[in-house]
């Protein structure tokens, strides 16, 4: 069973997904979909309320940026990477694999 449908996801508008006790930020970039831990590695902000530009997501609280593909912290004040999750896209079905 899928978690989301691709046509509900818009580039630049990440969504929050609760699955298996985790809170995940799911972001579409073109035809690709990425999933990272929703809580910023700097503090308690929800990244699904942040902005996506290219493959980067920016935390709305203090402006740290992360690479959606790898979870890597790209700018301060975050220094720790985010956990990433594999995403399967099958037609219109999007499944985060946890």
Q: Which of residues 35, 36, 40, 94 is near ligand FES by CB under 6 A?
A: 40
Strands 56-58 and 65-67: antiparallel
Q: Does 45 bind ligand FES (CB under 6 A)?
A: yes
Backbone φ and ψ for 6, nearest 5 degrees, come out as -60, -40
Cα separation, 81 vs 88, whole angstroms: 22
Name which position in 78, 82, 94, 96 contacts ligand FES (CB under 6 A).
Answer: 78
Q: According to the 3-state scheme, what is the secondary structure of 69-92? A: CCCCECCCCCCCCCCEEEEEEECC
Which residue lies nearer to ligand FES by CB, 9 or 61? 61
Q: For ligand FES, give the closer residue by CB, 35 or 39.
A: 39
Q: Which residues bind ligand FES (CB under 6 A)?
A: 40, 42-43, 45, 59, 61-62, 64, 77-78
């Amino acid at each position: 069973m899928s978690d989301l449908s691709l046509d509900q996801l818009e580039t630049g508008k990440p969504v929050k997904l609760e699955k298996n006790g985790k809170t995940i930020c799911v972001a579409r970039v073109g035809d690709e979909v990425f999933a990272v831990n929703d809580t910023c590695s700097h503090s308690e902000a929800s990244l699904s309320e942040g902005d996506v530009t290219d493959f980067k997501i920016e935390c709305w609280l203090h402006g740290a940026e992360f690479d959606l593909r790898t979870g890597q912290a790209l700018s301060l004040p975050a220094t720790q990477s985010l956990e990433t999750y594999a995403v399967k896209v099958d037609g219109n079905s999007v499944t985060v694999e946890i």
